[in-house]
Amino acid sequence: MKAKKFDFRTLVIDDDEAVLRRLSDALRGQTVQVGQRRVQPIVDTLKVVVEERDGGYHFSEQTLRDVVEIARNRYEFIVVDYTYASKLMQPKQWREGAAAKVNLDSNDHLLTLVDLRDALEKYADGRYARKIQGFFEQASQLLLRSFQHDRKKDVLGPYQHRLDNTKGVFPNSTYYQIDSFQMIYNSDGDLRRQFYTAPPNGREFYRNLVMQFTLLHYNSAMYRFLAERAGKLMIAKNSFRLWLLVTFVAAGGAFISALADPIADAVKQRDIVNAGVLTMVGIIATLAVTFIVTLVAERYTRSYVATAD
């Protein structure tokens, strides 16, 4: 029997092009199957680009247009990074390449998910307000990833503060969390320096670990989606049969009950032949109803179990 496939629409939002490419490829390769039901990912990506202009940092117009374009979609799962840096600041922020030894005192060069929503509202200027509102208020499963760097001036705060802000942006989502500083470095500044800041490939090591954590959460979310979807299908597929069964039982009971008075009248009038015939009809009707109810109930149960698979 061919497995029934369910699409698992997924969106990855990030400014790290390497993470976007590798993670989207890895997510597309994931699949979950239970019995005859299979979940197959459909993955979209949104690359966030930050530009430096007018003495500040702003989201590119292309980024805002891309968000408006995908806002029409509804996603079962969203993977999102909380902060975004300009292309010039990314090597310094991530301590990669020639900028690996640069020490930033502040993270005020970063834009956040909250900034992205605010920028979208200004960009839309009422034109796409309902579409954008629907996108952020969709009831999806959302994985928030964020890493707390070592900065003397931290304007972003710890992970919990970032999570609370994200819940304000996506208020109806169910959350999965990757607090990178806590999960990878045990919230220990020395470990962060030893394994992220000091090594030349510290960012690459971090990317690989984050991707593995994401895949674990992703598979858990797909199983959850499959379990919830199966429950809905069982009701939709079997409710009509259950209604027919109950109706037949009620009709059969009413028919058998209706025979009681004619049988009693025939007995009073000493009409033995008629009373015998009616009694036989009642017995045959009772046996028929019992047999049919048993048969239908058995097949219904098999269908119910098969649907649950």
Nearest to 169 by CA among 237, 111, 225: 111
Share of the chain residues as helix, strand and coil, in percent rounded to the nearest 5: 60, 20, 25
The pLDDT, as a whole number, for residue 305 is 45
Mean pLDDT value across residues 6-19 = 95
How do residues 195-254 score in pLDDT, each as one tens digit?
888 888 888 999 999 999 999 999 999 999 988 876 554 444 556 666 565 666 556 556
The pLDDT, as a whole number, for residue 295 is 65
pLDDT at position 266 over 60: no
Q: Which of the two residues, 180 and 307, has the higher pLDDT score?
A: 180
The pLDDT, as a whole number, for residue 148 is 85
pLDDT at position 118 over 90: yes
Q: Nearest 5°: phi and psi at 176?
A: -115, 145
The pLDDT, as a whole number, for residue 93 is 87
pLDDT band at residue 291, thresholds of 50, 70 and 90? low
pLDDT band at residue 81, thresholds of 50, 70 and 90? very high
How do residues 23-35 score in pLDDT, each as one tens digit?
999 999 999 988 8
How do residues 132-162 score in pLDDT, each as one tens digit?
999 999 999 999 999 888 777 788 889 999 9
Nearest to 31 by CA among 225, 178, 208: 225
pLDDT at position 101 over 80: no
Tell me what percent of the residues of the chain surpass a pLDDT of 90: 47
The pLDDT, as a whole number, for residue 300 is 54
CA angle 243, 247, 250 (to 5 degrees): 140
Mean pLDDT value across residues 168-190 = 92
What is the domain partition of the chain in residue ranges?
4-231, 234-308
Q: Which of the two residues, 260 and 218, has the higher pLDDT score?
A: 218
- In the chain, the amino acid numbered 161 is H
Q: Rounded to an integer, what distance in angstroms lies between the CA atom of residue 67 and that of residue 72?
A: 9
pLDDT at position 301 over 60: no
How do residues 40-69 score in pLDDT, each as one tens digit?
999 999 999 999 998 899 999 999 999 999
The highest-confidence range among 127-136, 172-181, 263-272, by mean pLDDT, is 172-181
Residue 176 has a CB neighbour count (10 Å cut-off) of 20
For the entire predicted model, the pTM comes to 0.73
Q: Rounded to an integer, what distance in angstroms lies between the CA atom of residue 19 and that of residue 46?
A: 11
In angstroms, how far apart are the furthest CA atoms of the chain?
A: 112
The pLDDT, as a whole number, for residue 247 is 67
The pLDDT, as a whole number, for residue 124 is 80
